[in-house]
Structure 1
């Protein structure tokens, strides 16, 4: 059996999405900025996609900016707000467990003279709200906190966070990459000023995403050139990718509830299967304050490189954490922040599922881990 269990890294493109994209490549190939009929036809598909995205996210149409994905969206939001608001203050806040497309931007801004606070998290990966209240000052201009952590699946208390930020002078940016398709998010139910998403996490193509920016939010746009995206993001729009993104988002939100039930059942089945086989493990993160699609486990009897290799030989494809740090030997910064040392990170594996994952596949993973455990248990 072959089991892909790394859906938090990327998902296969759904056939309905491919069909929509191929129609654009083959028939509606015009440049949306051209004024002739072929260009106007392409513009119609671009506008239709923007309407579809805004409907799925509960945003306004003019608040949707199409980008190349989460990294660009995060960079644009964080730098753009920081630079635009710098005249008001110099303090910006994020957490120690953000994706590197957020953390590295904050590190760069710190080198440019911004005062940065990196919030701690508890053993479940949850932000400490009291600390957030304590560190926000009149000089704070930006807070950036991810909705769902990409390594452990913990869901942050976003209503409480946005309430704290709303009572300050700061603006709030949210990386919602792992939340889409798993949480029912209506953009205007929150006091979020900017939100990043990317298509390939929920059955869309790689290389396309969006930055949702609340109307009236001051933001300095850094990519210069043409007047695309209402003069906010220069460059010819990648229409086939955008159409695919819109279709994938529509499908993900339409089937959200049934997919979540399936994923929570899988998560429980996986943990029970490991327990039934007396495999020693501990859950990294929260069982309740989390999504169903990510399960991060600590196996004390084996190091992460060895278990990943053995699982790969058994045709089980998982990871140790973010795909953006694959190939490095650096322990997960998320787990280090949670447990204050790197030993646990060196023995932890991330399993991530989606609606295509079956109970049979989950049980197969547990069976293969059981075989590995019996080979290595004498080292415990």
Structure 2
């Protein structure tokens, strides 16, 4: 591990990840002021830091007494993991935006560089008990983002998280799973194989050392890392009380792009995303629209097109001739030419083309619209105004 981090500081930070809960701002302030080595030594010697209340210090001491410095580093290395610390070349600088709540360090497993894959990354989050629609949208967004060179970040959970990871892996793209437990703890158990695939094709990341179990508070704090790590967060599907909304609020406070995918208004699992869209999130429906927000200047979404109809395929002159034909009767070539503002010869040539395409038919010395083609020849009727 290269960088400016000394062996002593790395050892101290590895020990402190077992003592300090993720997101602890009070201890984060002490780390920023004193450094990891001094904070750890104070805990070892039971020299209470004045800023830390006695009850809190007592709890930290109970944890510190059970720590064997260096053991977690050895165990992690044994299963292909490492500890990435602030100051390492692999440390993603955007995590520093968390201030005092910045992680003490990140336990990482996988061959990719965390800093590198996080440079162009998007977080996809949403409901665990998502609908088929949510699964489809998460997988589709993730796959297309990965194909266009973006890393997909999520939380490894059931539902939207799992669909996002699978979508990226399906196209051979990198994906990062930020966990609320030790990297050796398969949680949820049903995602054991998926998490192994993520480690092979991307990265598993956690603030917690080997063996640590998830708790509700750790899930909440995990969300701040997901939000800070990427350029923007997309909430794919979420109820009004979904945990993914915590990630959304974190992303917004950090100044990241916040996006949400709309869903059926009749679905309670889209109520949270709809509220986000009303309040602060940008509505997105495709990976192109996501990239247009989070990408560099010039990376824009593909132009939206309506469904193609046969009339759209005609050239300008053929369209003018078609427009010149009345709906209900047959007319002569000179009449058509007059309406299309061209010579009779040119009008006849276009009529022959239109006839071969099935738009018009020849009746004696006149031409008329073929009945099935009438609806393609006419522009769409305007919708009635509300209340009309």
Larger radius of gyration: 2
On whether the aligned pair clears a TM of 0.5, the verdict is no
Q: Which has the higher contact order (CA 8 A, sep 6+)?
A: 1
Q: Give me the TM-score of the superposition, normalised by structure 2.
A: 0.30
